[in-house]
Amino acid sequence: MLQISYIRENRDKVIQRLAVRNFTQTELVDELIHLDEEIRSIKSRSESISAEANAAAKQIGDLMRQGKREEADLLKVRTGESKEQAKVLHEQLQVLESEFQQKLVLLPNLPYKDVPTGISANDNEVVLEHGEKPVLPENALPHWELAAKYDIIDFELGVKVSGAGFPVYKGKGARLQRALINFFLDQATANGYREVQVPILINGDSGFGTGQLPDKEGQMYYVGADDLYLIPTAEVPVTNMYRGDILKEEDFPIKNTAYTPCFRREAGSYGAHVRGLNRLHQFDKVELVQIVHPDKSYEVLEEMSTYVQSLLQKLELPYRVLRLCGGDMGFTSAMTYDMEVWSGAQKRWLEVSSVSNFETYQSNRLKARFKGKDGKMHLAHTLNGSALALPRIVACILEENQSDQGIRIPEVLVPYTGFEWIS
């Protein structure tokens, strides 16, 4: 959530940066500034009335002690009128503050200066490509056919149990999943992240804190009887661990990693591009979350991108890094890198990770602050990244490593799987 002080003092810059996102509701900026002025005016009048009432109360007491009851009674009447006026102002203030908050949450985060202008994924900037795309034989199979051939993932059984988008992993398929989770967690802890195990159900305050609410409520599964949501990513509970906290500057960077299942409704997702593991309602992911000093956040973003790339290199998967354009970036992000892995059998790039800097957008909602060396309170910067989401990683491992002998397991995973081949 943007800070009104920044919007008020940088109106033209805010509108200019929103244009990078192709955000057209820029009239909201002036509406917010106008509402803020009204709110501050009413607060000023209320404070003035309160000060006058306090002074009058003291004066009434003095008059009563002096035996000037008639003058005191007249002042009491005026004080009563002031109290009524204060009540009216308070009611007006509640209405205006509610309208202000409803409008403020409609503004997305401002893109960082390096974010390219654009409307869709076609406008994203390719930062780098790594590795050679493998040349697969003509009879190479996509992962959903490999899964059926080796009986390691059962999509139809998942439909029977839950519905489409809930696969059942079997035998070596299940062990590969577990191997990847443990590998990613071990790599994260070796790189200074603290492992945490968090709830996979969150309340509305947590959803608001990281920006899923009210923006993405239609994409989350809702448990109505308990007013809870299934998490779309571990980013939500992990970041919300610090909601309302006053942090210590010397503790930065605060680094956490968590494995969780993730749940997304993916409403309206149809077609061949979502077949198999390409898009699921339930999937596993290891997440990285950092809370850092504002001066360090873009340095940390680059470090997180490099770290995710190191995982892909160890898995021997060709990949590329994209800097997302304004129009393709998430609502809460100031800058995002996407990592995509090449699917040789599908002959297209598949996103496997997003690493984002939210600057103060989340921390302002969370009220996650720290006391700086200047003695003042400041909002921290928050970042998160997938390291990694499993479904498309599994898809590419299966497709890229297929041969007549079976499917070769990347060497780095063998100590975790206990086998070198799926055959």
Beta strand 254-263 with 194-195: parallel, antiparallel or unpaired? parallel
Instruction: Give Cα 3 distance to the centre of its chain.
Output: 18
Query: Residue 169 in contact with residue 410, Cβ under 8 Å?
Result: no
- What does residue 154 show for φ and ψ, rounded to 5 degrees? -115, 105
d(CA 65, CA 210): 58
Token pair listed for 123: 């406008």
Task: Provide the pLDDT for residue 269.
Answer: 53
pLDDT, one tens digit for every residue, the chain (423 residues): 999 999 999 999 999 999 999 999 999 999 999 999 999 999 999 888 887 877 777 787 777 778 877 777 777 777 777 778 888 899 999 999 999 999 999 999 999 999 999 999 999 999 999 999 988 988 999 999 999 999 999 999 999 999 999 999 999 999 999 999 999 999 999 999 999 999 999 999 999 999 999 878 889 999 999 999 999 999 999 999 999 999 999 999 999 999 999 999 975 555 556 789 999 999 999 999 999 999 999 999 999 999 999 999 999 999 999 999 999 999 999 999 999 999 989 999 999 999 999 999 999 999 999 999 899 999 999 999 999 999 999 999 999 999 999 999 999 999 999 999 999
- What does residue 412 show for φ and ψ, rounded to 5 degrees? -70, -20
Tell me which residue has tokens 């509701």.
25
Which 3 state secondary structure label does DSSP give 82? helix
Amino acid making up residue 290: Q
d(CA 111, CA 334): 4
CATH architecture assignment, domain 121-422: 2-Layer Sandwich (3.30)
Query: Residue 172 in contact with residue 163, Cβ under 8 Å?
Result: no
CA-CA distances (angstroms) from residue 2 to 6, 104, 331? Answer: 8, 7, 12
Token pair listed for 35: 């509402």
d(CA 194, CA 63): 66
d(CA 85, CA 167): 63
Beta strand 246-247 with 348-357: parallel, antiparallel or unpaired? unpaired
pTM to 2 decimal places: 0.92
Supply the CATH classification number for the domain 4-104: 1.10.287.40
Q: Which residues of 215-244 are buried (b: 16+ CB within 10 A; e: fewer)?
A: bbeeebeeeeeeebbbbbbbbbbbbbbbbe
Among 319, 400, 299, CA closest to 126 = 319
121-422 matches 4-104 in CATH topology: no
Among 348, 321, 237, 349, CA closest to 285 = 237
Instruction: Give Cα 396 distance to the centre of its chain.
Output: 26
Q: What share of the chain is helix, strand, coil (3-state, %, to 5)?
A: 45, 20, 30
d(CA 415, CA 277): 24
Task: Provide the pLDDT for residue 268.
Answer: 53
The residues spanned by each domain of the chain are: 4-104, 121-422
Which 3 state secondary structure label does DSSP give 253? coil
Q: Which H or E run includes 381?
A: strand 381-389
Q: Which DSSP letter does residue 274 get? A: G
Q: Strand order of the sheet with strand 201-202?
A: 201-202, 228-230, 222-223
Sign of the torsion angle spanned by Cα atoms 42, 45, 47, 50: negative
Task: Provide the pLDDT for residue 63.
Answer: 73
Instruction: Give Cα 40 distance to the centre of its chain.
Output: 31
